[in-house]
Amino acid sequence: MAKKESRSGGYEALRAAVKAGVPANLYIFYGEERYLLQTMAQRLKELLIPAGFEEFNYHRLTGKGLTVQEVTEAVVPLGPQSSQVAIKQLGTNGGGFNGANSASALENPTPLTNLLQCAAIPLIPFALVFAFGRMVGDRRQSRALMTVVLTLLAVGLFSAIAAETAATSQLSADGAVYLGALDQSAGNMEGKECRIGVGESAAWTALTSATSNGSTNASIEAMTPIGTLVPLALIGLGEVVGGGVGTGLVGLLGFTVLAVFVASLMIGRSPEYLGKKLGPAEMRMAVVIVVAPALAILLAASVLVMSPASAAAVGTPAPFGFTELLYAATSAGGNNGSGLSGLSSNTPLINVVLGVEMLFARLAPLAAALVLAGNLAQRKVQATGAVGLSTSSALFAVLLLVIIVLIGALSLLPAFALGPLAEQFMGAF
């Protein structure tokens, strides 16, 4: 932290700054008037630390006889960090042991650890897709589904990395794009950890948003509009790109049933999946699985936008202010947990709205999936005719991809147009 010195009056200037509520990052107190030193230290303490949190946020250290261990124990959380990092990444839980989350050097010290954690995040969710093929006795089904998952993930990864690497014309004009020794742009380094860089930060953001993992190694708030759009879209799809452990396959199979219905109508056959007929009840459950998350996100975002109380919680004006509210609703409904730091979300209104949204967006698809699975389990497998629909073919994989984009992504496109897309085309970033 940089030292901020006052050039106009010492104690009086410092007292005025504290009274105005605009403290600097660092103060160094010195002088013979111990009363004044203690008084200003107490005022800074009252200004910066909420009442009741002094035990956790206030440490008094003296220079004489100070050791490195004392400083470490005062400012660095100690505990079983390695095990917690493994749990949060393999279990797609997210969060972090330290306040800096996965940007912390103790949780993510090198690009290699960043790569290993990126590999751990989708490990179990992707394995569940292959487990599905084993369960139904046809591994070709899982390969078709995995093709769709990897295609969507590749598009998200490429888009996020490209957006952050190229940055924006506004950032370049402001001199915020770092130029290396070879005069090669390193992209948007704002909000990024220098150890990790732009590319791995963007890849981390795309992976964690696709797999319901709320950990972050960079500030999503500081990303470009397209860099923010990628996690919004991947979360809003409803966990079809891997998803969380135990829940990600639900959304993907819901879209699969819809794709089977559409394809069956195109060839003039009654819809069936894995040799079992799909009736009106099964189609209604599939619609609930697909539509419920997007509907919950849009309703929650609408309530937040229309409420005057949420305006005070937004850190920036539109269109990015709208993006902050939309991201909060999307993250809550999509079981992600990440957020844009500019939004002060700990308010009664936002807590209640997002809490109700979580109940509907998470429980409705799971309940519908149980009903759908129960109905199909009671039906006998029928032999598929020679002209039957093959759900393991490349053509069906393409159709499933189109259905996901048309129904999933386009449901939220109007909201995206008012947020990150408007910001991109307005050059407001």
**Taking the domains of the chain in order of start, what are their residue ranges?**
11-58, 89-426
| Model pLDDT for residues 257-287, shown as the tens digit of each residue | 999 999 888 888 888 888 888 999 999 999 9
> What band does 3 get if pLDDT is binned at 50, 70 and 90?
very low
Mean pLDDT value across residues 342-355 = 86
- Please give the Cα distance from 273 to 210 (Å, whole number): 26
What is the model's pLDDT at position 23? 67
What is the model's pLDDT at position 96? 72
Helices (H) and strands (E) in the chain, counts: 19, 4
- Please give the Cα distance from 286 to 279 (Å, whole number): 11
- Please give the Cα distance from 113 to 422 (Å, whole number): 36
**DSSP structural state of residue 53:** -
Q: Where are the alpha helices (DSSP H) in 167-222?
A: 169-173, 197-210
Task: Reply yes or no on whether the pLDDT at 367 is more than 60.
Answer: yes
> What band does 178 get if pLDDT is binned at 50, 70 and 90?
low
What is the model's pLDDT at position 172? 59
- Please give the Cα distance from 207 to 191 (Å, whole number): 18
Closest CA to 250 of 281, 286, 298, 199: 286
Which amino acid is present at 284? R
- Please state whether the predicted TM-score (pTM) of the whole model is above 0.85: no
Task: Reply yes or no on whether the pLDDT at 25 is more than 50.
Answer: yes
Q: What is the mean pLDDT of the chain?
A: 82
Mean pLDDT value across residues 105-115 = 88
> What band does 339 get if pLDDT is binned at 50, 70 and 90?
confident
Residues 6 or more apart whose Cβ sits within 8 Å of residue 325: 301, 304, 305, 310, 314, 343
Closest CA to 367 of 254, 198, 208: 254
- Please give the Cα distance from 193 to 204 (Å, whole number): 12
Residues 6 or more apart whose Cβ sits within 8 Å of residue 244: 92, 125, 211, 212, 213, 335
